[in-house]
Amino acid sequence: MAGVSFSFAALLERPDIWRGGSLSRAGTPAVPSGFSRLDAELPGGGWPAGALTEILPAHEGIGELRLLGSALAALSNRGLWLAWIAPPHLPYAPALAAAEIDIGKIVIVRTATAKQTLWATEQALVSNACGAVLVWPRSVKYADLRRLQIAAEGGRAPAFLFRSPEAAGESSPAPLRIALGTAAGGLAVRVLKRRGAPLARSILLPAMPPAVRGNRHVDRHSSAAAAARDFPARLVHA
Amino acid sequence: MAVSAALALAPQLRIAPRDPAAETEALLGVAGWAAQFTPGVALEFPDCALLEISGSLKLFGGLEPLLERLRLGLREMGWSAALAVAPTPRAAYWLALAGKGEFFGSMAELEPALAALPVEIFCRNDETLAALEAIGVRTLGELRALPREGVARRFGQGLLDEIDRGLGRLPDPRIFFVPPARFRATIELPAEITQAEALLFAARRLIVQLVGFLAARSSGVQRLVLRLGHRNRAAIEIAIGLVAPSRDAEHFTLLLRERLSGLALAEPVRELGLQADDMVPLAGNNLGLLLEQGKPPGDWGHLIERLRARLGAEAVRGIAGRAEHRPERAGAIADLGVKQMQLDFGERPFWLLDRPKPLAEIDAVPHHDGRLELLVGPERIESGWWDGDEVARDYFVARTQNEALVWIYRERRGEGGWYLHGVFA
């Protein structure tokens, strides 16, 4: 048997060996968001697993993905897949990697019609094969949402639906609905709906990108050089 | 009786010529499927498969559950079958031929039942049959009552040996059936099918047969090919690829349904074939000792296959990062499951636009939904002079009037101008 390397670890990976120590995880019903101030106000202490969470950012770019970054990183690093369905732009790998999200665990599903979007979301939820499902539906009706909520139930994945702020006025079967705005340089989270008592006040979260937080001015040296290249100095902020 | 006489008696009778080749192929197909229950499958042509099940009873939970699975599978494949169980293969064959779906575990139980068997079951020689009838012997029991030397002299030792084998007095060795290395099965459709969805019903039979075949070999497949045979045109082949090897009948059916839905058939299909070539070892699933709360975790590969089957392979991709200064090349759509790279860039936005969007410059200030306030920058990126895709830009993080954060740049080549490249979502 000289020259044959035997890997015990590989032996244990075989599918026909059952290991008594591997107990099935009871499964937390919520995924912590990474913001303690927010988790304190969410039933279960985090994003609800097996349920829809609607996120209604006042504008694109307010911080709707930064809000989820910590949870997505935790899920992907546990080896779970993240499904992004009908995203409005390309999820940018360097940014995701910087947020410690495992980009090898991301699947992007690009759909041509609203119906395909809903179908793909339903499939992803029913299969219970993902750690989280993120979807940007173009137009959803109450009945569609209800169907997605049913598809999500019993599963382990939180499902995040990004909708426009006008949808806040519509009724929805999603157990958690959050509107996002900004205030005082941070992310203002308004919980529109949650299981249990309603929340009146907004929660302020520090969710600025590090560069903006720490260095809130344009680099002076470069601006001087740039001014020489026809770059007006009055654009520089102190 | 003549065909005309038969039709006169029953005008709605359907006549079809016997096709021995098809019968053999069908029997081999059933044997290949049945091999999942026992390695000891023997064939008794033209239409019998013998399964040695004493070693399988415990695994399948007893005789009744095993027989139920056999009945269910045969029904799903579209066969009607007579099942019988006996201590010897020959006796089991006779009982099944006689249509007696009876199950005998021991010789003591078997002998009385065999006694009632008509002689036609085990004797195929017409002369012998006529002679037996002439002396008034109609059943096996009556034949055994006759003195052995007399029977041997008049009808030949062969008849006695046959009976002895059935009763377990003489050995009856069988050559066990070895399933072929590749799976090939065809069904001729009873009527021509014009709608692709209707093919699924017939395809289901082939799928059940394939899954049994795979179970017998503890294997899975990653590629199936469905063949649609037409009358005049050449056959069409539909290939279905899987992310991971599988032998899940439901999963195959689902994939096939997605593929067939929306498929327009140029000509009616009269024949359906399924083939699978590359088998891959695939052990069964271990059940956890404790039950999972809620739904069990689903199969990721199956989900991807389902999505791709309906939306197209291009619609389901992953992303990859590259060590590239040019931002549009540092992250891109790629194959699924790329290994994580160590990337170390400055502040980067979660969204990158497919194409940088030109921004209006009013009073020397870039505008996007109003004035943009430059917060961080410039980050100068100059790269790509070596492959003709040169980039020279000053990147800034800017805030819009709506308090959103965006990634913009000032083009430093040519006419310059401001562009929006990403959104810090």
* pLDDT tens column, B128-174: 888 888 888 888 888 888 888 888 888 888 888 888 888 888 898 98
Question: Residue A8 domain-assigned?
Answer: no
Put simply, whether A115 touches B (Cβ < 8 Å) is no
- Both A88 and A203 in one domain: the answer is yes
Beta-strand runs (E) in B287-350: 316-321, 331-334
> In this predicted structure, what is the pLDDT of residue B283?
66
- Both A164 and A201 in one domain: the answer is yes
> In this predicted structure, what is the pLDDT of residue A5?
60
- Both A159 and A235 in one domain: the answer is no
Query: The whole model's pTM is what?
Result: 0.60
Q: How far is A236 from chain B (nearest CA, A)?
A: 7
Read off the CATH number of the domain in which A191 is found.
Answer: 3.40.50.300
Question: Which of B109-118, B186-195, B324-333, B336-345 comes out lowest in average pLDDT?
Answer: B336-345
Per the prediction, chain B carries an average pLDDT of 86
Put simply, whether A7 touches B (Cβ < 8 Å) is no
Task: Answer whether B318 sits within 8 Å of A107, measured CB to CB.
Answer: yes
Question: Domain-by-domain residue ranges, chain B?
Answer: 18-167, 183-281, 345-423
Q: How far is A170 from chain B (nearest CA, A)?
A: 23
Q: Is A43 within 8 Å of A24 (Cβ atoms)?
A: no
Task: Answer whether A91 sits within 8 Å of B347, measured CB to CB.
Answer: no
Of the residues A60, A67, A92, the best mutation for testing chain B's interface (the one with the most B CB atoms within 10 Å of its CB) is: A92
How many helices (DSSP H) and strands (DSSP E) are in chain A? 8, 11
Least CB–CB distance from B425: residue in A16, A66, A154: A66
- Both A203 and A213 in one domain: the answer is no
Phi, then psi, of B27 in degrees rounded to 5: -65, -40
Task: Answer whether A127 sits within 8 Å of B294, measured CB to CB.
Answer: no
Q: What is the DSSP-derived secondary structure letter of residue A227?
A: H
- Both A53 and A42 in one domain: the answer is yes
- Both A119 and A201 in one domain: the answer is yes
CA distance B323 to B345: 9
> In this predicted structure, what is the pLDDT of residue B289?
39
What CATH number was assigned to the domain covering residues B183-281?
Answer: 3.30.1490.100
Nearest CA in chain A to B281: A15
The model's confidence at residue B284, banded by pLDDT at 50, 70 and 90, is low
CB B389: neighbour CB atoms within 10 A?
11
Beta-strand runs (E) in chain A: 30-31, 47-48, 51-57, 82-85, 90-91, 106-109, 132-135, 158-162, 176-183, 186-193, 203-205
Host domain of residue A236 = 209-238
Output the six-digit token pair for B389.
């895709």
Question: Residue A166 domain-assigned?
Answer: yes
Put simply, whether A150 touches B (Cβ < 8 Å) is no
Question: Residue A236 domain-assigned?
Answer: yes
Task: Answer whether A154 sits within 8 Å of B298, measured CB to CB.
Answer: no
> In this predicted structure, what is the pLDDT of residue A14?
59
- B-facing residues of A in 166-185 (CB < 8 A) are 181-182
Distances in Å between the alpha carbon of B380 and those of A65, A104, A231, B160, B418? 26, 29, 14, 100, 14
pLDDT single digits (tens) B17-46: 888 888 888 899 999 999 989 988 999 888
Question: Residue A81 domain-assigned?
Answer: yes
- Both A129 and A223 in one domain: the answer is no
pLDDT single digits (tens) A194-227: 877 777 788 888 877 766 665 444 443 333 333 3
Of the residues A103, A123, A218, the best mutation for testing chain B's interface (the one with the most B CB atoms within 10 Å of its CB) is: A103
CA distance A84 to A121: 9
Question: Helix axis angle, B300-311 relative to A114-127, nearest 10°?
Answer: 160
Least CB–CB distance from A93: residue in B293, B330, B400: B330
Question: Residue A12 domain-assigned?
Answer: no
